[in-house]
Structure 1
Amino acid sequence: MAPAKLQILLQFLLELTAGHEGTINFHVTDHLSSETLISPSAAEFEVDTRSFLVIPSNNYIYLFISASKLILDFKVNFHKPRLAKYMNCRVPADKRYQPTEYEHAANCATHGLWIIPSLVGGSVLYFLSVDRWHQVTAWLYGSGLTGLFITSTLFHTAAWKISHLRKMEQRFHMCDRMAIYFFIAASYSPWLMLRELGPWTCHMRWLIWVMAGFGSTYVFFFHERYKLVELLGYVAMGAAPALVILSMVERAGVCELAVGGIFYVVGVVFFKSDGLVPFAHAIWHLFVAVGASCHYYAIWRYLYLPGLPLQTAR
């Protein structure tokens, strides 16, 4: 048997036990001659493991390498870490983390459950509107809020149930990332459109939507290629309008906005903790939901609640 093939087998066995504690004993048999080819202890090799196909079947794993059919008969002596079924091993920065079944379900539920409340919340603001300007703002905000939860739920459902359809899953992932940009723009729109702004800061009303368009275009052409750049784009888009709001004369609601922003920022820690913290992405979803709830409360109380004086700049 060629040494390169043995190295591939050994590398596969190392990956088989990755993230577990214990040892693995095995031997490899040629299916045609029933000759025992190797019975080594685990060792490290750097090889390309994509050159073979693995088909698990009960106590055997069939490996198809070139024209040879090998049977890997193994006896495993290991135990999974306590939280292994709730979290997979961490992956390199250039690869996507693969959630467990429990994590997939949590990722879907933690945003899916907010779709109906967001629809109701947007409708409440619309019916509280006192003029067309308030109605347009309520529609923009409600669409961005609901769109975020819908696209997130659809993507995580696709990643869970149809991950083998790579192109379709990638399209859902791109929509999920684009929705974040428009959600940020929609979250700031009520404050930018329904509060008095200065002669220069008023341009942020349309500039933030231009930023959302640029961000979405970037996702379309460079999706998942430069993850740090994408993250910095979200941060920049969230920070620039915040500086404008802090410069407003009317400061009512700023505290609630700051609290919501803190939830978003702290949640990013969990967003980057897949493979380190069980259900990390679902926890990130909860932080997003709480942050959005804080912002919705501020918008409802200070911009739409009946009896408040209008300070809208037309």
Structure 2
Amino acid sequence: VAIYLLIAGTYTPLTLVTLRGAWGWSLFGIVWGLAVSGIVVDSLHKQGSRRIQMAIYLLMGWLIVVALYPLIQIMPTGGLVLLVLGGLFYTGGIVFYALDDRITHAHGIWHLFVLAGSISHYLIMLLYVL
């Protein structure tokens, strides 16, 4: 549940402060809709929803690509680099999340990737959004 909220919470300032307008509000609504959907799926299907979770995480995370053109016009290059870097950290980490039961310490490694992605996105907010 927390991952859905983390992703949607990260999108919120990017969509409402940086993008604004139709692009911002549309992405805001879609991402929060996916977050609520993911939370509902997780609540109803405790077993066997891991693949669905990962698909929703990835969809939510990379949905920003649809607004790449307006984002490039608004956000400085440094912010875009941090955004992509954070996305790559999160995406790379999902490999360890998926292999949690097969690789020793995979869960801890996944958390390191999440930490790196979170730091990247924190820096975007600090330096380029707020």
TM-score normalised according to structure 1 size: 0.38
Hey, what does 1:297 align to over in structure 2? 123
Amino acid at match of 2:83: L
Amino acid at match of 2:74: E
Q: 1:201 to 1:283 in 2, by over 3 A?
A: same
Q: Which has the higher contact order (CA 8 A, sep 6+)?
A: 2
Q: Structure 1 residues 222-231 or 196-205, which shifts more?
A: 196-205
User: Where in structure 1 are there 5+ consecutive unaligned residues?
Assistant: 1-177, 305-314
Amino acid at match of 2:123: Y
| CA deviation vs aligned residue, 1:81-137 (integer Å, no higher than 9, x gap) | xxxxxxxxxxxxxxxxxxxxxxxxxxxxxxxxxxxxxxxxxxxxxxxxxxxxxxxxx
Hey, what does 2:109 align to over in structure 1? 283
2:11 to 188, 193, 199: 188
Hey, what does 1:212 align to over in structure 2? 35
Write the mapping of 1:34-45 to structure 2, written as runs, cut at 5 A.
none
Amino acid at match of 2:43: F
Amino acid at match of 1:269: V
Hey, what does 1:251 align to over in structure 2? 75
**Separation (CA, whole Å) in 2 of partners of 1:232 and 1:265:** 11
Residue 202 of structure 1 and its aligned partner are, at CA, apart by 2.8
User: Where in structure 2 are there 5+ consecutive unaligned residues?
Assistant: none
CA contact (8 A) 1:192 1:245 kept: no
**Separation (CA, whole Å) in 2 of partners of 1:200 and 1:267:** 28
2:54 to 228, 231, 247: 231
Residue 243 of structure 1 and its aligned partner are, at CA, apart by 2.6
CA contact (8 A) 1:246 1:254 kept: no
- Report which of the two has the higher share of strand: 1
Question: Larger Cα Rg: Structure 1 or Structure 2?
Answer: 1
RMSD value over aligned CA atoms? 1.9
Residue 199 of structure 1 and its aligned partner are, at CA, apart by 3.0
Secondary structure of 1:192's partner?
helix
Identity of aligned residues (%): 29
Residue 276 of structure 1 and its aligned partner are, at CA, apart by 4.0
CA contact (8 A) 1:208 1:241 kept: no
TM-score normalised according to structure 2 size: 0.85
Aligned length: 127
**Separation (CA, whole Å) in 2 of partners of 1:257 and 1:215:** 23
Residue 237 of structure 1 and its aligned partner are, at CA, apart by 1.4
Hey, what does 1:260 align to over in structure 2? 86
| CA deviation vs aligned residue, 1:51-83 (integer Å, no higher than 9, x gap) | xxxxxxxxxxxxxxxxxxxxxxxxxxxxxxxxx
1:240 to 32, 38, 63: 63
Q: 1:200 to 1:286 in 2, by over 3 A?
A: closer
- Report which of the two has the higher share of helix: 2
Residue 302 of structure 1 and its aligned partner are, at CA, apart by 0.7
**Separation (CA, whole Å) in 1 of partners of 2:37 and 2:97:** 23
CA contact (8 A) 1:270 1:280 kept: yes
Hey, what does 1:43 align to over in structure 2? none
Residue 190 of structure 1 and its aligned partner are, at CA, apart by 1.1
